[in-house]
């Protein structure tokens, strides 16, 4: 355990010195402030409190941003050590390969957590400053926070898998971008066009909800919007699938990190430094 | 006492043989040098012993533990060729991490760094270190926690002569405390005769396994004797000794180890014609070349 924590501490230090912590915190701060400012207009018409409205907007943002941040943090984890020639020496130490990966994971998840706290905290502060009833939005915001960590954990695991499979750091980077485009952007576009083409047929009613649950980012969006008062703000895919119970979405969110790490461990085991 | 034992270890990369039926032992307390050209299989052998690469065939016993197992890794220390570290960490932070990984108190880091002459650079980032400093940091991590087996891939590369001597002194202490040491090198001259036994690898086969004196004997390379004749006597000296070649005053002769004493007797008999003479034994490089160029098809038994 001390070895695992040692790896985590060193990785966290590296993330600070590589400016990852600064970059991600600033990114989250900026987006949260912009969304808080933009969210002030429709709240009066909908009757929801300011914070709940902001949570709905933050959910839409987090679906894109969290996977991207997690992949950026993780793509270099194994391929980078291999490129630098530091992996062989590390692997001769008594810490197991899963232990080494979990140490890095702990550090990267902490970095993500700090960025999320900064962003979501700013959004909450902005909502409270202008709306006395914003406390109603605290529960959805808390749910958004921990489900964001689960989504982040999933994409960290996926990033480690890519990092273990790639021979070089550059290959791992392009794999990470490809994964993001495929799972976050193209997946939803393909589903939407299928739903449009199906025009209310069996695909839309029987198959489509499972596809949504199968994608961790969509499950995250469903879980956060299903229980929110501000569901009416949700558009597109999430709006179309509002019938899916949030418990199933939560199950998907919980299973994905496990699956991602199973993949990462399996890929890392095959790596010869 | 458990040793490092390899028997009939074979490794192939895409059909090319890297190691062929390799059998060797490194006993506890023994310092063994592994020599060979680039591509002879030294690093491959080390990575197999460390469990970083799987062997295709053969049995490996790492001080009584299965190779690559957690128990084996806890007993083993490794210094890779061209050792590298994360440039963003300081030497101190990097060594503290290595200490934690070996379940040793991290406060020992500064003392270890001082023992390899990095005390002043301890808090500087490794990105600013020279190659020699990185090498010394690599040595410091290999000395953590009294390892039972040290696998050192070209440990003296990039070290200045003083650091090199310090390094061998630390090795002597570790070996005296019972550690088995396997270190690789390109050339015999770099070893400064500070090892107990020498293994020479050529094209994945073991072509020599002996002490330096034993290798010298078995190679039976000729000794050169250089004689400085008195002015005008060079021709006569050359004729009387039936020596090969001479210039104005120097006479060179080459003799096998068995003729050495007889030849010296002949030279002594000509003392009125000779100013001085010098016996030049085969150099370490000559011996190494002799074995590494031997046909790889006749390995030692």
**A2/B contact by beta carbon, under 8 A:** yes
pLDDT for residue A16 is more than 90: yes
Q: Do A2 and B100 touch (CB under 8 A)?
A: yes
Q: Which residues from A are below 8 Å from B89, CB to CB?
A: 10, 13-14
Across chain A, how many H-helices and E-strands are there? 15, 0
pLDDT at A238: 52
CA A211 from chain centre, in angstroms, equals 18
- CB-based contact B204:B22 (threshold 8 Å): yes
pLDDT for residue B301 is more than 50: no
Lookup: tokens for B33: 């040098």
Which A residues 77-136 touch B at CB under 8 Å?
84-86, 88-96
Are B8 and B112 in the same domain? yes
Average per-residue pLDDT in chain A?
A: 88
Residue pLDDT, tens place only, B11-29: 999 989 999 999 999 999 9
How many domains are contained in chain B?
A: 2
- Measure B169 CA to nearest chain A CA, in Å: 23
> What is the end-to-end Cα distance of chain B in Å, rounded?
24
Are B181 and B240 in the same domain? no
Lookup: tokens for A9: 């501490």
Separation of alpha carbons B66 and B87, rounded Å: 33
Task: Determine the longest span between alpha carbons in chain B, in angstroms.
Answer: 75
Are B155 and B183 in the same domain? yes
Which residues are CB-neighbours of B194 under 8 A, at least 6 positions away?
Answer: B31, B168, B171, B172
Separation of alpha carbons B128 and B134, rounded Å: 10
Q: Do A94 and B74 touch (CB under 8 A)?
A: yes
Residue A215 Rama label (left phi>0; alpha psi -120 to 50; beta): beta
Best CA proximity match to A54, nearest among A24, A25, A26, A31:
A31
What are the strands of the beta sheet with B76-79, ordered from one edge?
A: B76-79, B149-152, B180-185, B31-35, B197-202, B205-210
What are the strands of the beta sheet with B16-26, ordered from one edge?
A: B16-26, B4-13, B57-62, B65-66
Q: Do B101 and A3 touch (CB under 8 A)?
A: yes
**A245/B contact by beta carbon, under 8 A:** no
Asked whether residue B15 is domain-assigned, the answer is yes
Place of tokens 């207009």: A41
In the listed set B217, B239, B258, which residue is the last one of a domain according to the structure?
B217
* C-alpha dihedral sign at A161, A249, A195, A71: negative
E strands present in chain B: 4-13, 16-26, 31-35, 57-62, 65-66, 76-79, 149-152, 180-185, 197-202, 205-210, 223-229, 245-246, 250-255, 274-280
- Higher confidence at residue A151 or residue B234? A151
Percentage of chain A beyond pLDDT 90 is 62
Best CA proximity match to B33, nearest among B169, B168, B218, B145:
B168
Asked whether residue B275 is domain-assigned, the answer is yes
Residue B299 Rama label (left phi>0; alpha psi -120 to 50; beta): beta
Average per-residue pLDDT in chain B?
A: 89
Place of tokens 């596809």: A211
**B101/A contact by beta carbon, under 8 A:** yes
Are B69 and B184 in the same domain? yes
Are B159 and B228 in the same domain? no
Are B75 and B11 in the same domain? yes
pLDDT for residue A29 is more than 70: yes
* C-alpha dihedral sign at B259, B265, B269, B275: positive
pLDDT at B25: 94
Asked whether residue B291 is domain-assigned, the answer is no
Q: Do A3 and B86 touch (CB under 8 A)?
A: no
- Measure B242 CA to nearest chain A CA, in Å: 58
- Measure B221 CA to nearest chain A CA, in Å: 40
Note the residue count of chain B: 301
Are B78 and B198 in the same domain? yes
- Residue A43: pLDDT band (50, 70, 90) is very low
**B128/A contact by beta carbon, under 8 A:** no
Separation of alpha carbons A91 and A105, rounded Å: 17
Are B13 and B144 in the same domain? yes
Q: Which residues from B are below 8 Å from A14, CB to CB?
A: 86, 88-89
Asked whether residue B295 is domain-assigned, the answer is no
Place of tokens 């050192």: B152
Task: Tell me which residue in A5, A89, A96 faces B83 most closely, judged by beta carbons.
Answer: A89
Return the bridge partners of B141, or none.
Answer: none
**B82/A contact by beta carbon, under 8 A:** yes
Asked whether residue B290 is domain-assigned, the answer is no
Separation of alpha carbons B139 and B83, rounded Å: 9
**Complex ipTM, two decimals?**
0.88
In the listed set B217, B239, B259, which residue is the last one of a domain according to the structure?
B217
Are B266 and B136 in the same domain? no
pLDDT at A41: 57
CATH of the domain at B232: 3.30.70.100
Separation of alpha carbons B8 and B21, rounded Å: 4
Best CA proximity match to B76, nearest among B179, B168, B166:
B179
Residue pLDDT, tens place only, B44-78: 999 999 999 999 999 999 999 999 899 999 999 99
In the listed set B163, B198, B217, which residue is the last one of a domain according to the structure?
B217
- Mean pLDDT in residue range B184-210: 85
Q: Which residues from A are below 8 Å from B50, CB to CB?
A: 92
- Measure A272 CA to nearest chain B CA, in Å: 6
Best CA proximity match to B180, nearest among B84, B49, B269, B80:
B49
pLDDT at B297: 46
Are B40 and B126 in the same domain? yes
Q: What angle do CA B213, B219, B222 make, to 5 degrees?
A: 100
pLDDT for residue A233 is more than 60: no
Domain span at residue B105 reads: 4-217
Q: Do A84 and B84 touch (CB under 8 A)?
A: yes
- Mean pLDDT in residue range A31-53: 72
Asked whether residue B93 is domain-assigned, the answer is yes
CA torsion, ordered A180, A181, A184, A187, to nearest 10 deg: -130
CA A266 from chain centre, in angstroms, equals 22
Residue B198 Rama label (left phi>0; alpha psi -120 to 50; beta): beta
Separation of alpha carbons A150 and A256, rounded Å: 8
CATH of the domain at B185: 3.40.50.300
Best CA proximity match to B34, nearest among B197, B211, B213:
B197
DSSP labels, A109-128: HHHHHHHHHHHHHHHHHHHH
Residue pLDDT, tens place only, B145-159: 889 999 999 998 888
Q: Do B88 and A91 touch (CB under 8 A)?
A: no
Q: Do A96 and B85 touch (CB under 8 A)?
A: no
Asked whether residue B286 is domain-assigned, the answer is no
> What is the end-to-end Cα distance of chain A in Å, rounded?
24
Are B73 and B203 in the same domain? yes
- Mean pLDDT in residue range A120-138: 84
- Mean pLDDT in residue range B272-286: 86
- Measure B127 CA to nearest chain A CA, in Å: 12
Minimum mean pLDDT range among A68-82, A110-124, A171-185, A199-213: A199-213
pLDDT for residue B186 is more than 80: no
Are B26 and B173 in the same domain? yes
Give start and end residues of each alpha helix (H) in B116-191: 131-142, 161-176
Q: Do B86 and A273 touch (CB under 8 A)?
A: no
- CB-based contact B89:A10 (threshold 8 Å): yes
pTM of the model: 0.88
- Residue A39: pLDDT band (50, 70, 90) is low
């Amino acid at each position: 355990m001390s070895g695992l924590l040692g790896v985590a501490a060193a990785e966290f230090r590296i993330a600070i010195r590589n400016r990852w912590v600064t970059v991600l915190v600033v990114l989250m701060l900026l987006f949260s402030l912009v969304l808080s400012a933009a969210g002030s207009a429709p709240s009066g018409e909908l009757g929801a409190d300011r914070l709940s409205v902001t949570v709905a907007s933050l959910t839409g943002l987090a679906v894109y941003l969290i996977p991207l941040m997690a992949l950026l943090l993780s793509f270099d984890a194994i391929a980078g050590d291999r490129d630098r020639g530091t992996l062989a020496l590390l692997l001769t130490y008594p810490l197991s390969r899963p232990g080494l990966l979990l140490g890095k994971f702990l550090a990267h998840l902490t970095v993500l957590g700090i960025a999320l706290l900064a962003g979501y905290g700013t959004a909450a502060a902005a909502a409270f400053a202008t709306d006395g009833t914003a406390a109603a939005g605290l529960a959805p915001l808390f749910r958004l926070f921990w489900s964001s960590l689960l989504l982040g954990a999933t994409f960290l695991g996926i990033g480690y898998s890519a990092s273990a499979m790639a021979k070089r750091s550059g290959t791992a980077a392009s794999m990470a971008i490809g994964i993001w485009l495929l799972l976050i952007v193209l997946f939803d576009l393909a589903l939407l066009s299928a739903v449009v083409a199906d025009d209310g047929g069996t695909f839309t009613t029987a198959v489509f909800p499972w596809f949504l649950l199968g994608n961790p980012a969509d499950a995250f969006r469903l879980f956060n919007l299903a229980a929110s008062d501000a569901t009416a703000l949700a558009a597109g895919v999430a709006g179309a699938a509002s019938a899916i119970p949030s418990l199933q979405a939560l199950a998907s969110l919980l299973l994905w990190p496990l699956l991602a790490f199973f993949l990462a461990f399996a890929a890392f085991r095959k790596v010869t430094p | 006492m458990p040793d490092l034992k390899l028997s009939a270890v074979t490794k192939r990369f895409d059909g090319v043989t890297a190691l062929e039926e390799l059998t060797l032992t490194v006993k506890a307390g023994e310092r063994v040098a592994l020599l060979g050209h680039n591509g002879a299989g030294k690093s491959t052998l080390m990575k197999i012993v460390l469990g970083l690469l799987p062997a295709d065939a053969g049995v490996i016993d790492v001080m009584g533990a299965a190779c690559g197992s957690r128990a084996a890794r806890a007993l083993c220390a490794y210094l890779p060729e061209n050792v590298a570290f994360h440039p963003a960490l300081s030497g101190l932070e990097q060594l503290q991490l290595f200490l934690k990984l070996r379940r040793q108190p991290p406060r020992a880091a500064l003392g270890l760094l001082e023992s390899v002459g990095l005390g002043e650079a301890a808090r500087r980032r490794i990105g600013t270190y020279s190659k020699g400093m990185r090498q010394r940091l690599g040595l410091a991590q290999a000395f953590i926690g009294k390892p039972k087996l040290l696998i050192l891939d070209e440990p003296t590369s990039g070290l200045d002569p003083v650091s090199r001597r310090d390094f061998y002194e630390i090795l002597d202490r570790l070996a005296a405390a019972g550690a088995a040491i396997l270190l690789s090198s390109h050339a015999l001259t770099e070893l400064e005769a500070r090892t107990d036994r020498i293994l020479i690898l050529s094209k994945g086969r073991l072509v020599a396994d002996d002490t330096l004196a034993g290798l010298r004997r078995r190679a039976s390379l000729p000794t050169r004797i250089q004689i400085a004749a008195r002015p005008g006597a060079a021709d006569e000296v050359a004729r009387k000794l039936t020596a090969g070649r001479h210039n104005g005053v120097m006479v060179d002769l080459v003799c096998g180890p068995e003729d050495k004493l007889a030849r010296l007797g002949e030279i002594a008999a000509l003392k009125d014609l000779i100013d001085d003479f010098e016996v030049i034994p085969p150099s370490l490089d000559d011996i190494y070349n002799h074995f590494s160029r031997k046909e790889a098809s006749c390995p030692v038994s």
